[in-house]
Structure 1
Amino acid sequence: MDNQPNNNQEQEVDLVPVFVWISNGFKNLFNAIGGLFKGLGHFLILFLIFIKNNIILLGILFVLGAGLGNYLSRQSKKNFTAQLRVQPNFESAGQLISNLEYYNSLVEEEDFTTLGKELNLTTDEASTLVSFEITADYNDTELLEEYDYMARRADTIALENYTFEGFKLAKRDIDYQFYKVEIAAKSKTALEKAAVLAIEVEDNPLIKAQRTAGRETTAFNISKMEYQLAEIDSLISAYQVAIKDKESSLSSGTNVFVNGQSKTETFKDLFNEKARMLFNLETEREKKYGYENTVNIVSYFVKKGVIVNKHLTVTFAFVFFGFGLLIALIPLVFRFLNTYQKEHNS
């Protein structure tokens, strides 16, 4: 009993270093945070001094960039832009992309004679064409439909580690269903002639084979669905006749409703099946007519100026400003390298 006060005193003494260690930890943390802000402030001041010392160079390049961007923006507003949303069939997306890149290279090389021959234009009309661009055009809903279509036909085990996000990441430039094509020209007449011709893809043996297979498959599916619809209509008529005969005789005749289903449930199932079959038949007919062209045009419109505002004035101003920073940094880098070399050689 006499030793209990001494034990409490020893425990209190042992806790003192712990509180000192915690106090020093907080002090070091706050000192580190303060040092970080101090370093950031010092860097900001040095950067502002650097800007001040090179304000003339940076200002000139900033103004030049803004002027160039403003000029290009005004020039783009004088052009006409055709935007098309297209759907390539028969794995022709790769050829379509290659064709448009080829046309754009002819514009950059100013080979308007060849470009005119490719697009059935005169040389003067081809010389008014400015650019050809193509990008994949999609949203998550369309990609989800593609993923669902693939998942229904794939092995369940194979899809365990193949998520929708993985499906999107695995997409290549030639794997999308829809593409956005933008063609710019100085002449609206030449643009309207070139826009439709530019997205045409000539048939090769693979495209011809896939077109034939697609047509034969859709024709078979349509014929099969039409037969099934006729059978469903006959079955509905037979049920109606059986019900009428049963109700008119008021006898306990043979029950035409199997599995204990009621009249309402049976007709509901039949009409739902008919509606589903009609929807599938409509889809197959759309495929049939969609296979007429190698590349289908989903939407197409022409507008004067650019379709999307690219903010060229601001973009070029900051690009030239960044270029000026690089130029201004070159003397500082050389000075540092020379000082470093002298220190280590000595």
Structure 2
Amino acid sequence: MSTKENSSEEIDLGQLFTLIGNGFHKLFQFIGSVFKSFFHLIILFLQFIRAHFLKFVIAIIIGIVAGSYWDYKSEKVYRSSMIVEPNFNSAQQLYNNVEFYDELAKQEEFEALAGALKIEVKYAKSIREVKIESFSDQAQKISQFSEFIQGLDSISQKLVDYEDYLENFNNINSKFHRIHIKSTNPRVAKKCRKQIVRSIEENEYFRLQKRINEQNITLSDSIIERQLLELDSLQRFYRKVKMIEASKDIGGTNINLAQSKTGELPEVALLKKVEELQEDKVELNNEKASTDNIINVISDFPNKGVLVNDWFTKKKVLLPLACLGLILIFLLLMELNRYLKQYQN
């Protein structure tokens, strides 16, 4: 009985290994057929390229010649950039204004563009594009996140982390923004700079925000100055008391200046408080300097723009690629038509 059972188990195991072997064999056959088909397609494509190689070369040469002539005859375009720092949440208005200028340039509404930028119509006709983009590196985003967190209450600070802040980060929230102007006149951007900034500074809402900010800074500065004077008077008082104590004999009248709850001497606590107020004053001065204008111009437009010489925008590069693509599509359609005729026969 046991002999029959062993024989049956050996047969079952043999069938299992046979099935596994057949499965691997079919898998390898399938992989081999895929590689074979892929290799076959490559060979067919290479044969197609070899058969029409001369046509491709002629198309590329025609494209290079025509593109070079087109580049030679085209007007030269110059690019100028200005970096600004908007204050009082004026970035959105700045973006709207720049997009308005760009739409006028694209629609060739040169008289309206000249009126909006306060320049002559002949200069407005030279403008091809007006763009704005934000830029901020990781350090700037971390700094902005720190400022954002400080403005929240303790409960909200626990609910917001840096990843959440980045997910909801809007480009308009960036600290710095770059304005580009492309024009056939290399000096027109400098003429537009004044009105681009003035269009924001003449806004009544932003002027009100700036005026209130100046009043708040003046008030905070006066409070700090008054506190520093009071601390100075208190320090002089403590010095007088120390001198009186030093002049008394031991066992005489003593004036006790109690220590603070942290165990610090009053003089030390006063010095620390003075240092804190001086740091606050430094921060206040920095804020006053950075918010002195509604739009801070970090880097102005140059007196003369830079010639746009981007390789991927040149016609002598784009036109050969276009010619090559067209001739390739045409030849493929011809091959498809020939195959359909043979298939029909």
Task: Provide TM-score, normalisation by structure 1.
Answer: 0.72
Q: 1:104 aligns with which of 93, 102, 110?
A: 102
Q: Does structure 1 residue 218 correspond to structure 2 residue 220?
A: no
Whole-Å Cα distance in 1 between the matches of residues 305 and 188 of structure 2?
15
Q: Which residue of 1 aligns with 2:272?
A: 269
Q: CA deviation at 1:144?
A: 2.0
Query: Match for 1:299: what amino acid?
Result: S
* Stretches of 4+ aligned residues off by more than 6 angstroms: 5-14, 73-76, 333-340
Query: Match for 1:285: what amino acid?
Result: K
User: After superposition, what is the alpha-carbon deviation per residue over 1:234-256, rounded to whole angstroms, capped at 9, x for unaligned?
Assistant: 44444554555545658575245
Q: Which residue of 2 aligns with 1:64?
A: 63
Aligned residues: CA RMSD? 4.6
SS in 1 for 2:79: strand
Q: Which residue of 2 aligns with 1:298?
A: 298
Give the 3 Å change call, closer, same or farther, for CA 307–314 of structure 1 in structure 2.
closer
CA contact (8 A) 1:134 1:181 kept: yes
Q: Which residue of 2 aligns with 1:114?
A: 112
Query: Match for 2:146: what amino acid?
Result: D
SS in 2 for 1:117: helix
Query: Match for 2:256: what amino acid?
Result: T
CA contact (8 A) 1:81 1:307 kept: yes
SS in 1 for 2:256: coil
Whole-Å Cα distance in 2 between the matches of residues 59 and 318 of structure 1?
16
Query: Match for 2:288: what amino acid?
Result: R
Q: Which residue of 1 aligns with 2:147?
A: 149
Whole-Å Cα distance in 2 between the matches of residues 158 and 47 of structure 1?
62
Query: Match for 2:297: what amino acid?
Result: I
Whole-Å Cα distance in 2 between the matches of residues 258 and 326 of structure 1?
86
Q: Does structure 1 residue 289 correspond to structure 2 residue 288?
A: no
- Identify unmatched segments of 5+ residues in structure 2: none
Task: Report how many aligned residue pairs link the two structures.
Answer: 337
CA contact (8 A) 1:73 1:312 kept: no
Give the 3 Å change call, closer, same or farther, for CA 214–321 of structure 1 in structure 2.
same
Q: What pairs with 1:1-346 in structure 2 (closer than 5 Å)? A: 30-31=28-29, 33-52=31-50, 55=53, 56=55, 60=59, 64=63, 68=67, 79-154=77-152, 162-202=160-200, 203-246=202-245, 249=248, 253-259=255-261, 260-261=263-264, 266=269, 269-270=272-273, 272-290=275-293, 294-302=294-302, 306=306, 310-312=310-312, 317=317, 321=321, 324-325=324-325, 328-329=328-329, 332=332
Task: Provide TM-score, normalisation by structure 2.
Answer: 0.72
CA contact (8 A) 2:126 2:185 kept: yes
Q: CA deviation at 1:297?
A: 0.8
Whole-Å Cα distance in 2 between the matches of residues 242 and 326 of structure 1?
97
Percent sequence identity over matched residues?
A: 23
* Structure 1, 100-109 or 245-254: larger mean CA deviation: 245-254
Q: CA deviation at 1:193?
A: 1.7
User: After superposition, what is the alpha-carbon deviation per residue over 1:259-311, rounded to whole angstroms, capped at 9, x for unaligned?
Assistant: 32258964663354134323322233225523xxx322111242755488633
- Identify unmatched segments of 5+ residues in structure 1: none
- Larger Rg over CA atoms: 2
User: After superposition, what is the alpha-carbon deviation per residue over 1:121-165, rounded to whole angstroms, capped at 9, x for unaligned?
Assistant: 222333333432211122222222222222233356556665434
